[in-house]
């Protein structure tokens, strides 16, 4: 798609190095199927794809995702692979989720409605950054505490993520 170069670097390492500077803390998730929630940042260190191929990443290259939907019952995670998108461009995406009254990132409502209202109108995210993962394929993952002020534009600065958005698996 035209304009993709505006959103993506050909070298994923460049984005990861930038995003790693925004990580304030990380902790290993013991059981992705019971502990992952939506509206959180995660770093996938080990993943087994649907063909059975297992990939292990170093911290420098491990994908950083922001979860939009997590379902144990359906064995699926819908997420934005943040590390695929240039940090300058991800700010426009996260601005859509900032509640200007609370200065918090909020991910609320039904996942289909969320996709139609906020995701589909982000061409760079839809074309290359939107991912689905099998929850059972995630073998090692870390929950990240990110500096949200670095991920949102100055005119719509978020200070954190609304805890009410972080819904447990269904």
DSSP per residue, 90-151: HHHHHHTTEETTTTEE---S-HHHHIIIIITT-HHIIIIIEEEE-GGGEEEEEEEEE-GGGT
Q: Can you tell me the distance from the alpha carbon of 123 to that of 25, in angstroms, rounded to the nearest whole number?
A: 30
Q: What is the model's pLDDT at position 113? A: 77
Contact indicator for 66, 129 with CB cutoff of 8 Å:
no
Domain assignment present for 53: yes
Going 56 to 79 to 20 to 139, the CA torsion angle's sign is negative
pLDDT of residue 111: 76
Domain range for 143 is: 4-165
CA 84 to centroid of chain Cα atoms: 10
Residue 170 lies in a domain: no
pLDDT value of position 169? 58
Asked whether 72 and 34 are in contact (CB, 8 A), the reply is yes
Q: Give the C-alpha separation, 61 to 93, whole Å.
A: 22
Whole-model pTM: value is: 0.88
Q: Answer whether residue 131 is part of any domain.
A: yes
Query: Sign of torsion, CA 2 131 139 94?
Result: positive
Q: How many domains does the chain have?
A: 1
pLDDT value, residue 99 = 92
51, part of any domain: yes
Tokens encoding 4: 């993709």
Average pLDDT per block of 10 residues along the chain, 170 residues long: 46 82 96 93 94 91 92 92 86 89 88 76 70 94 96 91 79
Nearest-angstrom CA–CA distance, 85 and 91: 10
């Amino acid at each position: 798609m035209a304009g993709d170069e505006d959103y993506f670097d050909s070298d994923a390492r460049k984005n990861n190095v930038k995003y790693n500077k925004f990580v304030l803390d990380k902790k290993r998730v013991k059981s992705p199927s019971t502990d992952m929630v939506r509206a959180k940042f995660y770093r996938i260190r080990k993943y087994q794809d649907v063909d059975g191929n297992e990939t292990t990443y170093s911290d420098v290259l491990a994908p950083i995702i922001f979860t939009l939907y997590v379902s144990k019952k359906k064995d699926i995670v819908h997420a934005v692979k943040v590390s695929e998108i240039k940090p300058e461009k991800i700010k426009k995406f996260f601005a859509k989720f900032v509640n200007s009254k609370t200065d918090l990132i909020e991910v609320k409502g039904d996942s289909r409605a969320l996709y139609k209202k906020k995701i589909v109108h982000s061409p760079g995210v839809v074309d290359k950054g939107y991912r689905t993962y099998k929850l059972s394929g995630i073998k090692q993952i870390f929950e990240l505490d990110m500096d949200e002020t670095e991920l949102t534009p100055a005119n719509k600065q978020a200070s954190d993520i609304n805890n009410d958005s972080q819904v447990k698996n269904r």
